[in-house]
Each structure stands twice: as structure tokens, then as C-alpha cells.
Amino acid sequence: MPVFQVLMLAIMFLALMVEVKTGGAGAGVILGLVAAGVFWGGQYANGSAELYELGLFLGGILCIIAEMLLPTIGLLAGAGVAMLLYSVAMSLGGDLGAVGAMAVALGAALFVFLLIVQHLPSSRLWNRIVLREQTSTSDGYVSAVPRDELVGRTGIVLTELRPAGSARIDGKSVDVVSEGRFVPKGTPVEVVSVQGNRVVVRALPQLNQ
């Protein structure tokens, strides 16, 4: 495995991650450009890289920069990363050895990035990639609309409960589940409990056939 090329790749990947995290704050830009220049200069000098591969690499960088500046939904960043990886893989030979070298470089860059990520400012692109807020009940987020008011209400089974089905309660169709037994269509039922979206009903004994 070409150790020098892997090292240059790791530096480039790390610089790219830092730029996505900081939104072009300048951290690691110079180091990344130097590493890219050394990598591509060496690859072109020994005949391993073509001009179109270098063009793809530069195009990928431009797509990622545009993603940082424009309010898009990540398409440019995805295309940019794909262009970067493809151009690098082709310059390394486009075989399994190239994939292995890129994987090692990416792993090393990711390891270093995770060590420093907490100390870097966040960009808009990074905030779109990483979910930073929690949806808690105290903030008004609920996983299901409370339906506790249904407890004690009665209705009629609209579909056979095996044990799940639907029943008409207070003039509305409600998805319900019986207490583990089959309940025929048309049977009067009573809501005995509500657990989130789970509405549990019981056939009324006096009317159960």
C-alpha cells in the first residue's frame, strides 16, 4: 500500500471534514491544499493520474463549497463527495488496492476528526447533517395525540377484531384492539385503556353474543 499517498489522502479527507464542520472558517484549508497539491502532483508526474481525474477532483471541491454557500438540500455535497472519491480511486488505479488505500486514509482522518470535533464551530451544512435538538415532551413534542378521554366510552365494532380492527366510538372510526380475544362485527364494546396509539376495548358482557 502506498503509505505516502495514504497519508496525503488522510490529510485531504481531514481538511474536508473540518471545512464541512466549520463552514469555510479556514481551519485546515492550507494544509488540505498542500496535501492535495503534493498528492496530485506526484500522481500526475508518475503517470498515474489524468487531467480529467484532477478536473473531477476540483469539480467535487467546488460542489462542496457551493453547498456551504447555497441553501440546497445536500445534493451538491453528495455529488461533490462522489466526484472526489471517484477521481481519487481512479488515480490510484481503480482497483481493490485503491479502495483499500482510501478506506485506510478515511478511517485515519475520521479518527483524528472525532478527537477534535468538539472544539470546532458548526456550519449550516453541518447542522443539516447532524441532528442537534431533541424532541421532548416539555418542548411540545408528543409521539401520539393523547386519547385518554376515550376510556369508558362505548361503541360498535365495525370490523372483526382478531384482535385488531376498528370500532365506531363517539361517531368516529377508531383503530382498536381487543383484550386478546376475537370480537365479531357489530358487537358493542367499551374502551378500557389507552396506551399511546393503542386503544384497548372489551366486549360488553350483557350484549355479547
**How does pLDDT run across 156-208, given as a tens digit for each residue?**
999 888 888 889 988 888 889 888 778 888 889 999 988 877 889 988 875 44
**How does pLDDT run across 113-143, given as a tens digit for each residue?**
888 777 665 545 445 445 444 545 555 545 5
Of the residues 83, 100, 129, which one is the last residue of a structural domain?
129
Number of domains in the chain: 2
- 143 in any annotated domain: no
Are residue 102 and residue 156 in the same domain, yes or no? no
Mean pLDDT of the chain: 75
As a whole number of angstroms, the distance between CA 2 and CA 137 comes to 53
Of the residues 68, 95, 129, which one is the last residue of a structural domain?
129
176: containing domain = 148-203
